[in-house]
Amino acid sequence: MKKLSSRFSVAVHVLCLIHLSPSLCTGDFMAASVKTNPVIIRNIIAKLKKAGLIDVRPGVGGAFLLKHLDEITLLDVYNAVEVIDNGELFNIHAEPDPNCPIGKNMVAVLRSEMRAAQSAMEQRFAQVSLRQLVTELGEKNGT
């Protein structure tokens, strides 16, 4: 099964690092924690900045949150970093045979299910704040 991109999970990771880091949280530090290329981190940071979730200190480097953890939901993060065409998460084949009894109706039938699944995911993400994740991280780390 094909997976969605990892931008969302990396962005959540980055935001938690920014909050929990005792010092300036640089792109190289974040890349090491995520175990990815710093270019990927810079791209995600740019998207988070554009969405108004973080800002970056020029020169010395380091990122900081622009909102409290309670004010940032997983939906905010998802909307900031995921690329969705025309508001739809799932793609569907564009031109099935209109003369086929299945083909002429498949897009409509399948699209409603896909929209319902996307809506359920977005509703769930809207209910979860970064505060909840940071709290759970603390519990798992014994702090």
* Higher-scoring residue by pLDDT: 31, 1: 31
Which pLDDT does position 120 carry in this prediction?
Answer: 96
Q: What is the mean pLDDT of residues 31-58?
A: 94
Count structural domains, the chain.
1
**What CA–CA distance (Å, rounded) separates 78 from 95?**
29
pLDDT at 24 over 90: no
Which parts of 10-113 are beta strand (E)?
54-56, 63-65
In a domain, 27, yes or no: yes
Residue 13 within a domain = yes
Report the C-alpha dihedral over residues 43, 48, 54, 57, rounded to 10 degrees: 20
CATH of residue 102:
1.10.10.10
- pLDDT: is 110 or 131 the higher one? 131
Report the C-alpha gap between 129 and 70 in whole angstroms.
6
Question: Does 2 score more than 70 pLDDT?
Answer: no
Closest CA to 89 of 117, 109, 108: 117
Considering the entire predicted model, what is its pTM?
A: 0.85
pLDDT tens, residue by residue, 49-105: 999 999 998 777 789 999 999 999 999 999 999 877 677 777 777 788 889 988 888
107 with 92: CB under 8 angstroms?
yes
Instruction: Give me the domain span that covers residue 63.
Output: 7-140
Token duo for residue 101: 């009894």
**1 found inside a domain:** no
Do residues 52 and 66 make contact, with C-beta atoms less than 8 angstroms apart? Answer: yes
- Domain membership flag for residue 2: no
Q: Is residue 14 part of a domain?
A: yes
Q: Per-residue pLDDT tens for 96-125? A: 888 998 888 888 888 889 899 999 999 999
The residue that leads in pLDDT, 34 or 5, is 34
Is residue 100 one of the residues assigned to a domain?
Answer: yes
Is residue 47 in some structural domain?
yes
